[in-house]
Structure 1
Amino acid sequence: METLKDISTLEDIKQMVDTFYGNVRKDDLIGPIFNDKLQDRWSEHLQKMYNFWQTILFDVRAYSGTPFPPHKHLPVDQTHFDRWIQIFNTTIDAQFAGVITEEAKMRATNMAFMFSHKIEYFRNAENH
Structure 2
Amino acid sequence: MTQTAPISDEQIRQLVDSFYDKIRADADLRPIFERVVAGDCETRLAKMYEFWSSVILTSGFYKGSLVAVRKHMGGLEIGLLDRCLALFGESCDELLDRETAGLSWLKAAHVAESLKLLLFCRPDRPWLRNAS
CA 1:31/1:7 → structure 2, altered by over 3 Å: closer, same or farther? farther
Secondary structure of the residue aligned to 1:86 is: helix
Give the aligned partner of residue 128 of structure 2: none
**In the aligned structure 2, how far is the partner of 1:82 from the partner of 1:115?**
11
Q: What is residue 130 of structure 2 aligned with on the other side?
A: none
Query: Which residue does 1:63 correspond to in 2?
Result: 62
TM-score normalised per structure 1: 0.81
Instruction: Give the aligned residue type for 2:106.
Output: M
Aligned to 2:77: 77
**Unaligned 5+ residue runs, structure 1?**
none
State the number of aligned residues. 121
Q: What is the rounded CA distance, in whole Å, between the counterparts of 2:44 and 2:6 in structure 1? A: 20
| Partner residue in 2 for 1:47 | 46
- Percent sequence identity is 22
Q: Is the 1:57–1:100 contact (alpha carbons within 8 Å) kept by the matching residues of 2?
A: no
SS in 2 for 1:94: helix
Question: Please, which runs of 5 or more residues in structure 2 have no aligned partner?
Answer: 126-132
Answer whether contact 2:15 2:92 (CA < 8 A) is retained: yes
User: Contact 1:54 / 1:60 at 8 angstroms: preserved in 2?
Assistant: yes
Alignment-derived partner of residue 111 in structure 1: 111
Check 1:6–1:52 CA distance in 2 against 1; reply closer, same or farther (3 A cut): same
Q: How do residues 1-128 of structure 1 correspond to structure 2 at under 5 angstroms?
A: 8-72=7-71, 73-122=73-122, 125=124
Determine the C-alpha separation between the residues in 2 that align with 1:67 and 1:87: 19
Cα distance, 1:125 vs. partner? 4.1
CA contact (8 A) 1:20 1:91 kept: yes
Say what the alpha-carbon RMSD is for the aligned residues.
2.2
* Structure having the higher Rg: 2
Q: Determine if contact 2:89/2:101 at 8 Å carries over to the other structure.
A: no
